[in-house]
Each structure stands twice: as structure tokens, then as C-alpha cells.
Amino acid sequence: MDRLTGNSERSDLTLQPTAVPAASQPGLGLRVFQNTAAVLGGRVLALFFSAGTSILLARFLGRERLGQYGAIYAYLSLYGFFATFCLEQILVRETTLRRHQAAEILHTGTLAVLGFSLTGAILAPLLAPLFGYSSPSRWLIIIAAVDMLILPPIRFRGIIFQVEMRFWYIVAIGLFRQALWLLAVLFLALKNAAFYEVILARTLCGVAEAAAVLWTVHRLGLIHGPRRFLSSEAHRMLRAGLPLVLANLAGGIYHRIDQVMLHKMSGDQVLGPYVIAVQLTELFSVLPVALMGSLFPALSQSAGDPQRFDRYLRESYRFLLVLVFAACAVITPIAAPFIELFYGRQFLTTAPLLIVLIWSEVPIFFGVTLGSAMIAKGLQRYTPYGAIAGAFVNILLNLVLIPRFGALGASWATVISYTVAGIFFLVLFPEIRPLVAVGLRAAIWPLALALAITFSIGLLHVSFEWKFLLASLAYALGALLTGAIELADLIRLREMFRRGPVNV
């Protein structure tokens, strides 16, 4: 496989980047940790916005309308590959390595994808009746498709924030949208708005987000040069993105087909509590995206330096897996009282679904790290295989389990299919196996801790507050004793808050 030189002359977008000079490594490490801290801080605030919105929306809409709401957006997610043709990380990689061509690369990527996004926005309402959506729902799908399918390529210019490692702009714009959406839901609930107004308000929030991205990029002047459409570049981009599109198509199926199948097979009354469980577990999914988003330029630049690449990858796995297994350990004792307190007794059936679904976050955290490493190494051609296997397993299990167990069956189908797709199926490929092995080694002790705490805390007859506290303390102590968390991590964290980020 040829190696990239950084010149404008290229033979293939899947080629691997060259290593950066050693002299640039300290600045790179500092910027990675600075942006990771900024993004994670923003994500913590975003969690509160998202949780507040989820609670307000559930109490306002009720079980059935919340199920209808979840069914619309789950259905549109099946067409998500049309929205960006999965070019985001490829655009990040190419703009990082050819910064002087940023205007041409991003403009070409935007125009190349807009045709696909419009196609998806047309197909989604046309095919909706095949999935059990009525005529009124089709109009709502058209409105929601503007946000889900048409606006994403318009926001491509915001990729420059990731390239420049100025993630605080991404954080600020994301928080702006979430705050706007929270206020919109609060206003809609107070005026007892019609259901269609909820869909319209969410779409308008998406329009505001896109406008904020374009205005901020223009104001900062981060993109220079002519905005020309390069047809040969577009062809290479789309060719490089095709394996990711296939993976995204399959991934969209196994991530969202459960909600579509519950909508069709069991009805929105059953789907409503499941939507809440999915929303709550997906709150955690922003963490791996935050870390790997800031680390991906570094992974791309170090792909030619195996020692440095392995160090970045190992630390990413370790950090993320410690976090996700901590969530698994502490969710079980608090699930039922938490749901009853914030969502009300009508959604109490969400608790057992949440206890199962939280374990689906493990392969998601694992898969985000692995996927970023694969793209950085130019191995994205393998990404569709795991996703296709996961989609097949998910559909098959849902067909068997939903008629017998309803939403709980869909929850188990999700955990099993995610694990197949995100971890174990990719072990079959020799080029990917070393990348998976790094993650599996990092998972051993956090997994053992989470399982031991989950089962042992459940035997205690104390209040859920004490269970939560004991589970948290036991996991933190166990992580320190087993080396899943190292003393150096705590020192580094302390120094980051005292003097800013330290070098890695």
C-alpha cells in the first residue's frame, strides 16, 4: 500500500498518512488532552440538557406519543448513510494532511453528498408505508428528514474545528442547540402543543445549529482559498467512503431496526418505555465520540509510527472501557427508583430494559475506538463486515424475541448484536485482530469488576442511594487495585485542572 506524502497529487484516499516529525509530538499531545478536556466538559453539560429534555418530552408526550416520536426518528436513522455518505472522518483526515486545500476538500465533500442526502429525504417518506407508518406520519417524516438528512452535509464546514483542534467551538454550538431544544420542549409542554409542533421545533433547532456553524467558520476565517468542486476528488472521496456507507447502512439497521420492529409488531404503547431506555443509554455514547473525535487527527498522523499509535490506542481503550463498565456497575441498583422519580410510574417498565441495554454501551465504546483506529490505518474496507453481521443477528433475534418477550426481547437482541458487530466478528480478520486484542486486554479487569459489583450489590437490602454509593466506591477502589486506573492518571488529571493539560 502506497504511503501519503502530503502533496496535492494523490492516488487513493485510503492510503495511510505519514508519521509526524518527533519534534511536533509534544504539542500534539498537549492539544489532544486540552481538546479532550474541553469536549468532555461540554459533554457533561450536554448530558444534563439531554436528560432534562428526555424527561420533559416523556412526561409531555406520554407512552404512546413518545413511542410514535421514537419510531419516526428511528426510521429516519435507517437512511442516515445518505446524510453524509460517511465522509466526516475521511474529510478530517484529508483536511488534516492537506490543510492548504481545506476549502476545496470541504466544498467538494459538501456538494458530493448533497445529492445523496436529498435522495434519502425523498425515499424515506415514499417507503414509510412498508414499515407501518400511516399517511399523517409520512408528513412528519418529511419535516424531520430536513434535520436528519439534508442539514448534515451543510454542516461539513464545521469539520475545520476538529482539524484545527478547536473543539470548544463544536462544544459551544452543540450546547447551543441542546439548550434551544430544551427550551422549545418546555415551551411546547406549557402550551400543550400538538404532536407535529414537536417535530417542527426539533427541525428548526437543527436549522439554527447549521446557521451557527456556518457563521462561526466564516467569522473566524479558518478556511482560505477558492471553493472549487473537484470532480476527481469527489470520486475518490465517495470511493473511500463506500465501505463506511455499507457499514453505516448495516449499523443503522442494527441500531434502530429494533424500534421500527417494535412499532410495527407491538405498537407505540410498548415502544414508548423502550425509547426512554435507549435515550438514557445513548447519553453515555457521547463520551467515546468526544475522546476519539479529539484523538483522531493524532491517530491519523501517527499511523506510520507503530509505537506511538499503539500507545494512543491502548490509552484510549483503557480510559473508555473503565468509564463504560463503571456505568454498567452503578446503573443496576438505581434504575427503578430513578425512572419512577423522574419519568413517573407509567414508565416504570423502562427500568429492566435500561438494566439490560446499558451493557450494549460496552461494544459501542469498544467499536468507536476500534473504528477510529481502522480508518486512521486505512483499513475502513473491513468496517462493513461486522456491521452486516450485527444487522443480520439483530433482525433474526428481534423476529424471535419480540413476539415472546416484547421490549425486553429487543433489549437482549440489541446487546448480543452490538457485541457481535463491534467486537467479535472483526477478530476473524488478521489485519484487524491486533487492534481488537489491545481492547480485549484492556477490558478484562473492568469487566470482572462490573460483573462482581452488579451481582453482589443486588443482594444487599439497603436503599438505592446506599447501593449507588457502595457500587461507585467499590468500582473506583477495584479499578485502582487492578491497574485499570493508574495513579499517573489521577496526577495527570490534577495537573490538567491546576495548570492546564500536561503532555502525554
* Residue-wise pLDDT tens digits, 336-370: 888 988 898 889 999 999 999 999 999 999 988 88
pLDDT at 23: 37
Straight-line distance from the first to the last Cα atom of the chain, in angstroms, rounded to the nearest whole number: 30
pLDDT over 80 (residue 31)? no
DSSP 3: B
Non-local CB neighbours of 126 within 8 Å, separated by 6+ positions: none
pLDDT in tens, 15-29: 333 333 333 344 444
126 vs 4, residue with greater confidence? 126
Task: Identify which of 114-123, 310-319, 387-396 has the greatest average pLDDT.
Answer: 114-123
422 vs 140, residue with greater confidence? 140
> How confident is the model over 171-185, as a mean pLDDT?
93
> How confident is the model over 448-473, as a mean pLDDT?
84
Range of the domain at 308: 29-499
pLDDT in tens, 54-90: 999 999 999 999 999 999 999 998 888 888 887 887 8
Average predicted confidence (pLDDT) for the chain: 82
pLDDT at 372: 84
500 vs 415, residue with greater confidence? 415
pLDDT over 70 (residue 468)? yes
> How confident is the model over 154-159, as a mean pLDDT?
90
Measured distance CA(268)–CA(78) in Å, rounded: 18
pLDDT at 490: 61
Whether 4 maps to a domain, the answer reads no
Phi then psi for residue 458, to 5 deg, are -65, -20
Whether 397 maps to a domain, the answer reads yes
pLDDT at 294: 65
pLDDT in tens, 244-258: 777 777 777 777 888
Helix, strand counts (H, E) of the chain: 20, 0
3-state helix, strand, coil in the chain (%, to 5): 85, 0, 15
Measured distance CA(333)–CA(494) in Å, rounded: 30
Whether 139 maps to a domain, the answer reads yes
Q: Which three three-digit cell numbers place residue 201?
A: 421545533
pLDDT at 17: 35
Return the H-helix or E-strand segment holding 289.
Answer: helix 286-301
C-alpha distances in Å from residue 439, one per residue of 133, 316, 382, 432, 480? 41, 9, 17, 11, 19
Return the H-helix or E-strand segment holding 68.
Answer: helix 25-77
- Under the banding of pLDDT at 50, 70 and 90, the label for residue 11 is very low
Measured distance CA(237)–CA(228) in Å, rounded: 15
> How confident is the model over 387-411, as a mean pLDDT?
91
Whether 469 maps to a domain, the answer reads yes
pLDDT over 90 (residue 235)? no
Measured distance CA(472)–CA(326) in Å, rounded: 8
Other residues' Cβ atoms within 10 Å of the Cβ of residue 379 = 21
Whether 338 maps to a domain, the answer reads yes
- Under the banding of pLDDT at 50, 70 and 90, the label for residue 488 is low
Measured distance CA(390)–CA(388) in Å, rounded: 5
Residue 245 C-alpha from the chain's centroid: 16
Whether 8 maps to a domain, the answer reads no
pLDDT at 48: 84
pLDDT over 80 (residue 335)? yes
45 vs 335, residue with greater confidence? 335
- Under the banding of pLDDT at 50, 70 and 90, the label for residue 7 is very low
pLDDT at 493: 53
Domain count along the chain: 1
- Under the banding of pLDDT at 50, 70 and 90, the label for residue 139 is very high
- Under the banding of pLDDT at 50, 70 and 90, the label for residue 406 is very high
Whether 3 maps to a domain, the answer reads no
Share of the chain above pLDDT 90, in %: 33
Considering only CA atoms, which of 156, 180, 182 is closest in space to residue 241?
Answer: 156
Phi then psi for residue 2, to 5 deg, are -65, 160
pLDDT in tens, 417-458: 999 888 888 888 888 999 999 899 989 999 999 999 888 887
Cβ atoms 340, 348 nearer than 8 A: yes
pLDDT over 70 (residue 475)? yes
Whether 128 maps to a domain, the answer reads yes
